Structures are given as C-alpha cells and as structure tokens.
Chains A and B, each alone.
Chain A
Amino acid sequence: MFVLGTTTIILFSIGGEGIGADVLSGMLWVVIFFSSMSGLSRTFVSEEERGTSLTLQLMATPAAVLGGKLLFNIVLASGLNAFVVILYFLLIAEFVLKTYSIFVLTIVMGSIGLAAAATIIAAIISKANTKGTLFPVLSLPILLPLLIAVIKLTSMAVEGVAFEEAMDEFQFLVAYIVVMVTVSYLLFDYIWKD
C-alpha cells in the first residue's frame, strides 16, 4: 500500500512532463527507503510487544537470533524492492535501463545493505520508548553512504555504463555490508541481554 501510495504521488507530481533519468533513479530509492523504513522497523518491536523476546533470550543464542532476523529482513527487503521495481517499470514509461546487470546487482546488494543496517537499528529502537518515530531518525545517517552509492549505480545503469566500470561502487557496497554485519554481530549481545 505504501509503495503504491508513494509511486502515485510521484506520478502526479511529475504530471506527464519529461523528467531526467537521474531524478527518476533518485526517486526510485526514495520510494525504496521509505517503504523499507515502514516495513523493516517492525523486526524486534513485534517481539517486545507480544512479550516473546524473553523466551527467545532463553531459548536461542544471540547470534542465532540476529542471524534469523537478518535473513528475514533480507528476504523482506528483497521482496519489497522487487515489488517497487516492477511497479516503477509499469507506471513510469520514461524509466528505461541500458545496463541490466548493474541494475539487478544494485537492487540485490542494496536490499542486503538496507536489511543489514535496519536490523541493528531495529534492535536498538525496540528497547527505546518511542519506537516508530525514532527508526528513520537513527537509520538515515547510517544509510546515507549506501543510498549515495546505489543512486549513483542506478543512474549508471540508466546511462548504459559498462559493467566493469561500476566495480568500484560494488566493492564499496560489499565493504559496507561486511562492516554492518560484523558490527551488528559484535554489538548485538549488549543490546539483546538487557
């Protein structure tokens, strides 16, 4: 619903005018960012609300909980983003890709990166009092380098840059994901056993 809403708003605001590929690739990630913000923030909050987090603490090791939540978030983010992309292609005719390989890899790695950052932030906010509003505030600075890189990659895909030329950006994304997952793994114990 959220995805449909934002895409419709974007379509109305464009109003049939020709719009640059740069702006369109930026807006794709705006839609993705906000839809994941509403979806991925629920990861740990739902456990706290239903009162199941204590049982989880007793039954499973923190690493297992984190791994499970991370995998779930990756699946959720990938599904959500696939939906956004399909909708975006159907509704916005101007959005034409030239290098599909870059685009597909960007969406996949962007989803993993989003999920990795969102998981640790979701774990932090589940222990805070105001849960809903805090999530975007905390995740925006963490996600900013990722967003800058994926927007750059998407506009590369639209412009038709060769796949090899985008390697630097992909290396950056891999580094981002590895750092995020490692930091989450190291710090999750402290948040979880409170």
Chain B
Amino acid sequence: MIARIILGLWFAAVIILAFALPMSAHPSRWYELPVIPGLEEKARIVFFHVPAAWLSTVCFVASMVYGIRYLRSRSLESDTKSAVAAGLGFLFCLLATVTGAVWAKFSWGTFWNWDPRQTSIFALLLIYGAYFALRSAVEAEEKRATLAAVYTIVSAAIMPFFMFVVPRILASLHPQPVLSVQGKTEINTMMLALLLASFAGFTALSLWIWNIQVRIQRLELKQTPVFPGG
C-alpha cells in the first residue's frame, strides 16, 4: 500500500519536473536543463519515450527468458510469466511508437518515414502481434505454452539482425542515444537524474503490473479444473 503511494508520488514528481523545469542555453543553476540544438523543448519527450522503448525490449527479453524456463521445467507458471511480460512489452512498445511518431511529426514533419529506429520498433510490434496471434490460435494450455516459447526464442534470435542490418542500409535521423558509452556533453546532471528517475519509475511500475497480472493468472489457473468434466 505504502509502496503504491510512493510510486504514485514518484511518478507525479517526475511528470511535473519533466515539464516544469526551465531550459536555458547555458545552464548555471542546478535545476536548469540544457538546450539541445535542433531539439529545444521537444527534447522533453526523452523522459517518457526512452524508458518506454527500453522497457519494451526488456520485457521482450524477459518473455524469452521465461520461455526458455518453461521449455526446461514444463511448469505453466513460467509460461504465465512469459505471456504477461509479453503483454506489458506490447503496451510499452505501442507507447514508444506513438510518442515517437508524434515527436517525429513536429521534428521531422511526418509521423512515419521508415527511419531505422522506426523500422526496428515496427518489427518488434509485428513480433508481439504475431506472438499473441499464435497464443490465441492454440487451445490446449501446454501446447500453447510450448509453441509460444519456441516462437519468442526464434524471434529473439532474429532481433540482432535488425540492429545490425537496418541501420546500415538506411541512414538515421534519430537523435543519438543519450546514455551512450562515450559520455555525452549535451546532457547535464539534472537531466540525467530526471531520466534515471523516470527509468526507475517505469521499471517499478511495470514490475508491479507484472506481479499483479501473474497473481491473477495464477488464481485463474487454480479455478479451472485440470480435467474438464472429469
């Protein structure tokens, strides 16, 4: 209960700060955000778009890991966890796509232009879509779990190709990753702190939703008789 209130307050603070903090060309006071040339006020999307995109891939990996666990242990619990993670990942993937498209409309002048980043997130959306189409097409629980696990592993094996081939074939207009290894100068401490706070909030929120969903599914699993009519 207390954790829930803290999470709510945390997110409220992140949202207010993300929109309220002033931006200046030469941030001198601790609360000022730097102006990134070419992005200006539109840079504020980074606090929501980047964590969502990050979580959509993390959830995908989590779904794959629980898929592997299912294939090893054959316990439906793992399959439930895998499916719930995929559902969450799909939600965040949609959020990242939509916020990215709206941002692109104002930055690039069009909602969609097949930028490499857009192509790879489109592929991720397709994979999630195919995953749920597969799950809905199989009735028997154990068969469904096996097929879904196999499909996540196959598609996870394909993901590196998207990261490798797509950026090489098409030039990207997407802003560079802010948290890159080289250590960027464009971002200051306040911006980094807020971004990390948003990351923490998003991660805690998704863990919480995931936990609730898994518990609900577990109860439903208990309610349905294992041998119907028997």
- Whether B166 pairs with A148 at a CB distance below 8 angstroms is yes
Alpha-carbon gap, A67 to B159, bound state (A): 24
Q: A124-B147, A148-B166 are in contact. Are A187 and B138 (CB under 8 A)?
A: no
Residues of B at under 8 Å CB distance from A?
Answer: 71, 123, 126-127, 129-130, 133-134, 137-139, 143, 146-147, 149-151, 153-155, 157-158, 161-162, 164-166, 168-169
B97 to chain A, nearest CB (A): 15
| 9-residue interface stretch from A11-19, A58-66, A77-85, A126-134 | A126-134
**Residue in contact with B126 in the complex, picked from A121, A144, A172, CB distance below 8 Å:** A144
**Residue in contact with B158 in the complex, picked from A141, A149, A168, A172, CB distance below 8 Å:** A141
A105 to chain B, nearest CB (A): 17
List the 3 closest A-B pairs by CB distance, nearest first. A145-B161, A141-B126, A128-B137
- Whether B143 pairs with A127 at a CB distance below 8 angstroms is yes
- Whether B71 pairs with A124 at a CB distance below 8 angstroms is no
A123 to chain B, nearest CB (A): 8
Alpha-carbon gap, A120 to B134, bound state (A): 14
Alpha-carbon gap, A145 to B127, bound state (A): 13
- Whether A152 pairs with B169 at a CB distance below 8 angstroms is yes
Contacts of B139 in A (CB 8 A): 129
Alpha-carbon gap, A26 to B91, bound state (A): 32
Interface of A is mostly: helix
- Whether A138 pairs with B138 at a CB distance below 8 angstroms is no
- Whether A130 pairs with B154 at a CB distance below 8 angstroms is no
- Whether B153 pairs with A141 at a CB distance below 8 angstroms is no
Contacts of B138 in A (CB 8 A): 127-129
Q: A128-B134, A129-B138 are in contact. Are A191 and B169 (CB under 8 A)?
A: no
A183 close to chain B: CB less than 8 A: yes
